[in-house]
Chain A
Amino acid sequence: MAAPDLVIDIRNLTKRFEDTLALDNLTMSLRRGEVLGFLGPNGAGKSTAIRVILGLLRADSGSVKLLGGNPWNEVATLHRRLAYVPGDVSLWPALSGGEAIDLLGNLRGGLDEKRRAELVEKFELDTAKKGRTYSKGNRQKVAVIAALCSNVELLLLDEPTSGLDPLMEAVFREEILKEKAKGRSILLSSHIMSEVEALADRVCIIRAGRIIQTGTLDEMRSRTRTNITATLKRLPTEIHAQPGVHDYSLLGHRLSCSVDAEHLDAFMTVLARHGIETLISEPPSLEELFLSQYDDTAKQAA
């Protein structure tokens, strides 16, 4: 079996700061051409992982491969092939936005003039303003434009849309889809579920420095519960005792509960015996998925 072409390949990465374990045996990978949603609660280690990938932090143990090379030793060659948008963009107070875009682009080895002009217009950025006079959203735009106007293989985006208004957020999605169509690989850390849902091919969830779940959204959904709401002809008696049933409630003839994926088949058979009048079955939303993941591991940890 040929190994898939991995743009980022992290195995058993551990990073410790003084007395806190920031990354704990983290293993994750980004395939060429995919958008990987990188989710996790605040302080889970997302930015730390990205900073190791960028060679800003040294790994304590484990292996990290970036674009086939070593991110710690081959900074200058590897970084020509990637662009990064930090989560909290701190711009040089005395530099204008336009200067910052040019600087960041040139440090990466040049930028695409046509693309720059196009993006500045689309994101409606006033490039003459000084760094410190920009609002948070505008600072974010500067970083996003600088990242998207260079021809790179890999985009590392750490909460790139925090602070953008919905209009700009839509522009951002459009542009990311364009980048994806060009075959770029994208690591997208985000808290905005709809964004991840719209853009990501796969997601991985990090918690307390470990990856606790990886897969496509469909795969993840199939691993969790389905929400069922049904109106039944005959009042059920034994259904709540079925395996894999949670949050059971019955209001008159209206039943609602959620069912574990592996018990769904058996559950539906039982349900059908009571004469289904109406049935709504919903996959869990990404929010629910996310919350259940955090909850489960929190319980496990406790």
Chain B
Amino acid sequence: MAKLFPGFVPLYKTASRLNARQTAPWIAIITLLCLTSFLAYAWIFPTLTDRQGLAATIGINPAFSLIFGPGHNLLTADGFNAWRSLALGSFFAGLMAIFIVVRETRAKEDSGEAEMVGSSVVGRYTQLAVGVGLAWASSVVLGIVTALSMIAVGGNLTSSLLLAAAFTASGMVFAGVAAITCQLGAYAGTASSMATTFLGACFLIRGYADTSPDTGWALWLTPLGWLQKIEPAGANRTWPVLMAVGLALVLVVIAGRLTSARDFARGMLPTRPGARRAKYVDNVFGLALRLQKSPIATWTIAFMLLGTVFGFLISALGTVFSQNAQIAKLLAAGGAQADPVFEFISTILKILGIIAAVYGVGVMMRLYKEEMEVRVDPILAGAVRRPKLYLSHVLIALIGPALALIISGSMMALVAHFKGVDINSWQIIEQAVIEIPAVWVLIGLSIAMIGARPPVRLGAWLAIVMAFVLTIFGPMFKLWDWVQGISPLWHVPNVAAVAPDWIGLLWLGLVLIFLLVAGFSGFARRDIAIV
């Protein structure tokens, strides 16, 4: 190692110490995901009848296959856990690996740290090797921790090991993807958004292939699809793991080739010189737009695509549903009063709403990053009142996701309409619109936290995770209404229902106002970050 990558050992040691604290939460989340399935399974589905009911529900609800893929052997805790954790866990493992690689390589070039390090006895490929090495090591640790915890709560040895191996393999592959995008992007931010977009696309393709009839071949297009073919607790295949690890190796070798073909701290994709004079960036609103330009563009396009894809999915499912009366009956028995297709649409829109909240919270987090990098000082040293500066980003954080949601709802409606789905297309858009207040409450949390108490800002991400868990598992685990009601999305009425209950929106509005007031008054009052 020392010969191939001079300076690897000391660099790796320092980096891994700092990395542990940032990686631990990811490992904890994925481990929790697995452990809770075991606990929930025993607790909520104690009898065989319960389990058969569960298997039937999972088998027919397309929203489930979209997120989790098909279930295998759902009459065992291992099967249930594999269904629940494989896709999501692999997704999170990929995210974790991407963030580690970008943080350790490209971000350090941007901050100048890598230059200092690079001037010492360090080889050309060493810093990339440290980043990838760290991500791979973290993926392996993730695998070991999850495997041991699953076995500890009574998981089957083979299926637990294979499921854990899927997480590790996903981490390794996406570390390789990030290693490549780090060579392409001009900034760390570009590199990580390219890699996460790729990960998101892989997840989406896999979900589509799992949900839509006759598209199983598409699973081959993405490494996440390969991992699905492991079928832990079912077929228990090993080769998909090996295939993914092989891909990871190839990706990293390509990244190594690219790294020697580019200049330090510059991506391979060229950047254009800037304008000599400011056009629209001559006030706080223009600046906020400019700073948030690429996330706005990326997310808007992503939502357009998501809407389109889901539109096709609805069309495909609409046909299946209308031909199968039993599915309709089963779905209706599961608490759905409305049309099963619309029930599915409403679930999809809730998931889109949660993704939109990620977009909005990301916008607010970017403002906080600006503050930490001392770029808020010079603005506030101008004739700018704090609420105005805060508003410039809050507006983007609220309007951006709302527009994205409407756009993707409209795309869904449009595609569904032209594919001749028997559903009122306007209602899809309407449903998307009335969901906005709930999404705003999730974003409002980050507005309140960053405004008033930035040290607790990560709570905003936690709230999103919570909303997701409650939305997806709340009904399945038959949680009490007051627990499900913690998620703002639970209060959104279904426009296709016989008598939609609009009072929930009023509550959401009140909470939102409270959060906004807390955020704005907090930001006006507190010290601007000391660094």
Closest to A97 in B: B274
In the complex, identify which listed stretch (B147-155, B284-292, B468-476) lies at the interface while the others stay far away.
Answer: B284-292
- A115 and B381 CA atoms in complex are apart in Å by 20
Question: Which residues of chain A are near B527, meaning CB under 8 Å?
Answer: 56-58
Q: 15 interchain pairs (CB within 8 A)?
A: A56-B380, A57-B528, A57-B530, A58-B525, A76-B385, A88-B374, A90-B373, A93-B187, A94-B187, A95-B281, A99-B277, A104-B382, A106-B282, A107-B284, A129-B273
Interface residues on B, range: 35 or more
> Residue B384 contacts which of A76, A82, A96, A156 (CB distance < 8 angstroms)?
A76
A297 within 8 A of B: no
Interface residues of A in 87-129 (CB under 8 A from B): 88, 90-99, 101-104, 106-109, 127-129
A91-B375, A94-B187, A109-B383 are known; give 15 further A-B pairs, CB within 8 A: A54-B380, A86-B377, A86-B378, A86-B381, A92-B290, A92-B375, A94-B290, A96-B274, A98-B274, A98-B277, A99-B278, A104-B382, A108-B382, A109-B382, A128-B273
- A75 and B386 CA atoms in complex are apart in Å by 9
Cross-chain contact A75 with B385 (CB below 8 angstroms):
yes
Question: Which residues of chain B are near A101, meaning CB under 8 Å?
Answer: 278
Cross-chain contact A107 with B383 (CB below 8 angstroms):
yes
B283 within 8 A of A: yes
- A107 and B527 CA atoms in complex are apart in Å by 20
CB distance from B280 to the nearest CB of A (A): 10
CB distance from B522 to the nearest CB of A (A): 12
Question: Which residues of chain B are near A99, meaning CB under 8 Å?
Answer: 274-275, 277-278, 281
CB distance from B481 to the nearest CB of A (A): 43
> Residue A102 contacts which of B281, B374, B386 (CB distance < 8 angstroms)?
B281
Q: Please list the residues of chain A having a beta carbon within 8 angstroms of any beta carbon in chain B.
A: 17, 51, 54-58, 75-77, 79-80, 82-84, 86, 88, 90-99, 101-104, 106-109, 127-130, 132, 143, 156
Cross-chain contact A103 with B278 (CB below 8 angstroms):
yes
B271 within 8 A of A: yes
Question: Which residues of chain A are near B478, meaning CB under 8 Å?
Answer: none
Interface residues of B in 274-312 (CB under 8 A from A): 274-278, 281-284, 286-287, 290-291
* Interface contact tally, CB-CB below 8 A: 117
- A97 and B363 CA atoms in complex are apart in Å by 24
B379 within 8 A of A: yes
Cross-chain contact B384 with A98 (CB below 8 angstroms):
no
Chain A, interface SS category: mixed
- A55 and B375 CA atoms in complex are apart in Å by 15
B430 within 8 A of A: no
Cross-chain contact A132 with B110 (CB below 8 angstroms):
yes
Question: Which residues of chain A are near B375, meaning CB under 8 Å?
Answer: 90-92
- A240 and B525 CA atoms in complex are apart in Å by 60
CB distance from A97 to the nearest CB of B (A): 8
Question: Which residues of chain A are near B379, meaning CB under 8 Å?
Answer: 107
CB distance from A1 to the nearest CB of B (A): 34
Closest to B274 in A: A96
Q: Given that A51-B377, A79-B382, A80-B383 are known contacts, is A103 also in contact with B282, CB under 8 Å in the complex?
A: yes
Cross-chain contact A75 with B383 (CB below 8 angstroms):
yes
Q: Given that A95-B290, A106-B283 are known contacts, is A75 also in contact with B380, CB under 8 Å in the complex?
A: yes
- A79 and B284 CA atoms in complex are apart in Å by 15
Cross-chain contact A56 with B273 (CB below 8 angstroms):
no
Closest to B385 in A: A76
Cross-chain contact B378 with A104 (CB below 8 angstroms):
yes
Closest to B380 in A: A56
CB distance from B287 to the nearest CB of A (A): 6
Closest 7 CB pairs of A and B: A96-B274, A107-B382, A102-B278, A84-B381, A98-B276, A106-B282, A99-B278
CB distance from B145 to the nearest CB of A (A): 35
Tell which of B110, B187, B380, B383 has the most Cβ of chain A within 10 Å.
B383
- A17 and B284 CA atoms in complex are apart in Å by 29
CB distance from B268 to the nearest CB of A (A): 16
Closest to B187 in A: A93
Cross-chain contact A96 with B273 (CB below 8 angstroms):
yes
Closest to B384 in A: A107
Interface residues of B in 374-410 (CB under 8 A from A): 374-375, 377-386
Q: Given that A55-B380, A57-B527, A76-B385 are known contacts, is A90 also in contact with B374, CB under 8 Å in the complex?
A: yes
Chain B 354-381, CB-CB to A under 8 Å as 1, else 0, gives 0000000000000000000111011111
Question: Which residues of chain A are near B275, meaning CB under 8 Å?
Answer: 96, 98-99, 128
CB distance from B191 to the nearest CB of A (A): 13
Cross-chain contact A76 with B381 (CB below 8 angstroms):
no
Cross-chain contact A98 with B381 (CB below 8 angstroms):
no
- A214 and B158 CA atoms in complex are apart in Å by 77
Cross-chain contact A106 with B384 (CB below 8 angstroms):
no
CB distance from A253 to the nearest CB of B (A): 54
